Amino acid sequence: MSPTATFRSVLEDADQLTLDEQETLIEVLRHRTVEQRRRQIVEDIHEAEEQFRRGECKPTTVADLMAELRQ
């Protein structure tokens, strides 16, 4: 089953829930996505710390960093 079909199926299933159940589902999904983002941030921090320990980081200015982010 394709991701689009799965997503569509989830939406159709959610339509079968009561309004209260849909609101609970929204809150559960919101909580899960927040937790996933937190885990990703922690992973990114650990990777950055490891790169720093290996000497792979170079000093930069805010202006240089902003210019790099705009690319």
| CA 25, chain centre distance (Å) | 18
Report CA dihedral (55, 57, 61, 65) to the nearest 10 degrees.
180
37-54: per-residue pLDDT in tens? 999 999 999 999 999 999
Question: What token pair was written down for 1?
Answer: 């089953």
18-36: per-residue pLDDT in tens? 999 999 999 999 999 999 9
Domain extent listing, the chain: 3-70
Each residue of 13-52: b (16+ CB within 10 Å) or e? eeeeeeeeeeeeeeeeeeeeeeeeeeeeeeeeeeeeeeee
